């Protein structure tokens, strides 16, 4: 547009991650993760969770009030008649297994990223944080057409290939091609369940390592909060042998409804529809209360499963949330045992 001899050039804002092609999104995602997590990427064997290793490294005398009875070395104690505990070194090679939920409920989003793209970002952060010489990364992906398995391998090429496969995976809801004159409607496709994916991880994760589950954890969640979710038992079994990190992905519209009048809600898993009037204040309050109770039910299930919980939202900076989580976990690992117990008390 010309005016008074001057030319005005209108520049469009930078496209969001969801507007880029898969390869462009992959490059943007790698740049974002490596820049924001640069201070956490040093060190060869530092992971996302604290804790001792599993390699035996001798024994030492038992220190009352500091050592756990579960680490008692009864053989040495019997020979010396003095209580001893086992010492272990950190594993020199870390195997990380990912379970990524790519079901229909993960395709919802009202922010720059939807829940599925946020899950890919979380996988990228885990991959870069656990990268190291000899470290391996494997994955099980719950897709619309079943479970896709990626064997545990090392190297940047393997990680980028996994991220590219997640970005280009087919969606669980496909457009209805029977009529092009009306808007496309979602057609639900049966997908693997979260419990099945956890069972698959339990079968392949033979060596002690890190298990990361990325999901909204809504699959099979019972209406009665006193009942256990179908995936809780297997998750508890994984926590008995591995360090388990549960990354919960949510969207703000799943927690509260805006006042936008009459809308049609569609369940992406079953395709059921329901019209609701969001102008009703009592309806919005009941919705928010039910959503809060549902998220509390997920938190309690993860807590009973002894999994470390990391909550990510599509409307927040995921890299900042991950940085805060990793720093908090490392402070807990570095704190003396007595101080940690005193703080918990």
* Strand pairing report for 146-153 and 136-143: antiparallel
Residue range(s) defining the domain that contains residue 81: 59-88
Categorize the per-residue pLDDT at 52 as very low, low, confident or very high, splitting at 50, 70 and 90: low
The whole-angstrom separation of Cα 102 and Cα 258 is 26
Categorize the per-residue pLDDT at 103 as very low, low, confident or very high, splitting at 50, 70 and 90: confident
| 120 has pLDDT over 50 | yes
Nearest residue to 268 (alpha-carbon basis) of 292, 251, 288, 280: 251
Residues 227 and 323 in one domain: yes
Tokens 């990223």 belong to: 113
Query: Among 88, 108, 128, where does a domain finish?
Result: 88
Nearest residue to 117 (alpha-carbon basis) of 310, 312, 323: 312
Quote the pLDDT of residue 115.
92
The whole-angstrom separation of Cα 189 and Cα 132 is 38
The whole-angstrom separation of Cα 226 and Cα 219 is 16
Quote the pLDDT of residue 267.
81
Query: Among 70, 88, 106, where does a domain finish?
Result: 88
Kindly state the helix (H) or strand (E) to which residue 241 belongs, with its residue range.
Answer: helix 232-241
Residues 106 and 77 in one domain: no
User: Average pLDDT, whole number, for the chain?
Assistant: 79
What is the pLDDT averaged over residues 69-77? 84
Quote the pLDDT of residue 22.
67
State the Cα angle at 57 between 51 and 61, rounded to 5°: 90
Residues 167 and 231 in one domain: yes
The β-bridge partners of 85 are: 60, 72
Ranked by mean pLDDT, the top range of 115-119, 127-131, 246-250 is 246-250
* CA distance to 12, 13, 14, per residue, from 1 (Å): 15, 18, 21
| pLDDT digits 0-9 by tens, 266-283 | 887 778 898 989 999 999
Quote the pLDDT of residue 320.
85
| 113 has pLDDT over 80 | yes
| pLDDT digits 0-9 by tens, 197-217 | 999 999 999 888 899 999 999
What is the pLDDT averaged over residues 238-260? 93
Q: Comparing 228 with 331, which gets the higher pLDDT? A: 228
What is the pLDDT averaged over residues 61-78? 82
* CATH code of the domain in which 310 resides: 3.40.50.410
Identify whether the C-beta of residue 254 lies closer than 8 Å to the C-beta of residue 115. Answer: no
| pLDDT digits 0-9 by tens, 216-242 | 999 888 888 889 999 999 999 999 989
Q: Report the domain count for the chain.
A: 2
* Strand pairing report for 84-89 and 55-61: antiparallel
Quote the pLDDT of residue 94.
84
Q: Is residue 24 part of a domain?
A: no
Quote the pLDDT of residue 1.
38
* Percent of the chain residues past pLDDT 90, beyond the cut: 34
Residues 109 and 133 in one domain: yes
DSSP SS3 for 6: strand
The whole-angstrom separation of Cα 258 and Cα 138 is 40
* Percent of the chain residues past pLDDT 70, beyond the cut: 75
What is the pLDDT averaged over residues 251-274? 88
Residues 82 and 101 in one domain: no
| 97 has pLDDT over 70 | yes
Strand spans (E) along the chain:
2-3, 6-7, 55-61, 84-89, 95-101, 136-143, 146-153, 210-215, 243-250, 262-266, 273-277, 308-313
Q: Is residue 9 part of a domain?
A: no
Q: Comparing 27 with 255, which gets the higher pLDDT? A: 255
**Per the confidence metrics, is the pTM higher than 0.85?**
no
Q: Is residue 332 part of a domain?
A: yes
Categorize the per-residue pLDDT at 313 as very low, low, confident or very high, splitting at 50, 70 and 90: very high
* CA distance to 50, 304, 334, per residue, from 237 (Å): 19, 11, 27
Q: Is residue 47 part of a domain?
A: no
Q: Comparing 337 with 101, which gets the higher pLDDT? A: 101
Residues 137 and 73 in one domain: no
Q: Comparing 176 with 303, which gets the higher pLDDT? A: 303
Quote the pLDDT of residue 72.
86
The CA-based dihedral angle spanning residues 284, 290, 292, 295, taken in that order and rounded to the nearest 10 degrees: -140
Residues 74 and 110 in one domain: no
| Sequence-ordered list of residues with C-beta below 8 angstroms from that of 77, at least 6 positions apart, any chain | 62, 83, 84
The whole-angstrom separation of Cα 220 and Cα 76 is 48
């Amino acid at each position: 547009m010309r005016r008074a001899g001057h030319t005005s050039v209108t520049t469009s804002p930078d496209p969001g991650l969801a507007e880029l092609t898969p390869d462009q999104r992959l490059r943007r995602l790698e740049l974002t993760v490596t820049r924001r997590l640069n201070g956490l990427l040093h060190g060869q064997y530092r992971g996302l969770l604290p804790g001792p290793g599993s390699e035996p490294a001798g024994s030492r005398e038992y220190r009352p009030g500091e050592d756990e009875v579960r680490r008692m070395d009864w053989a040495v104690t019997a020979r010396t008649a003095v209580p001893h505990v086992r010492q272990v070194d950190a594993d020199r090679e870390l195997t990380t297994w990912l379970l990524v939920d790519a079901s229909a409920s993960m395709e919802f989003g009202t922010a720059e990223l939807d829940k599925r793209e946020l899950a890919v970002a979380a996988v990228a952060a885990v991959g870069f944080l656990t990268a190291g010489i000899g470290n391996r990364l494997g994955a099980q992906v719950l897709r619309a057409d079943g479970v896709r398995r990626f064997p545990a391998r090392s190297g940047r090429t393997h990680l980028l290939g996994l991220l590219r496969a997640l970005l280009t995976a087919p969606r669980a809801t496909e457009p209805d091609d029977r009529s092009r004159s009306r808007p496309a409607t979602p057609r639900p496709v049966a997908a693997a369940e979260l419990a099945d994916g956890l069972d698959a991880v339990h079968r392949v994760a033979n060596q002690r390592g890190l298990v990361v589950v990325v999901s909204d954890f809504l699959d099979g969640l019972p209406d009665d909060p006193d009942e256990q979710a179908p995936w809780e038992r297997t998750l508890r079994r994984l926590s008995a042998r591995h360090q388990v990190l549960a990354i919960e992905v949510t969207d703000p519209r799943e927690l509260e409804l805006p006042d936008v009048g009459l809308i049609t809600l569609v369940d992406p898993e079953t395709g059921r529809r329901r019209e609701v009037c969001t102008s009703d204040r009592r309806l919005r309050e009941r919705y928010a209360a039910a959503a809060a109770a549902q998220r509390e039910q997920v938190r309690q299930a993860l807590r009973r499963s002894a999994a470390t919980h990391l909550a990510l939202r599509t409307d927040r900076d995921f890299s900042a949330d991950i940085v805060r989580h990793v720093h908090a976990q490392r402070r807990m690992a570095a704190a003396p045992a007595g101080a940690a117990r005193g703080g918990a008390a």
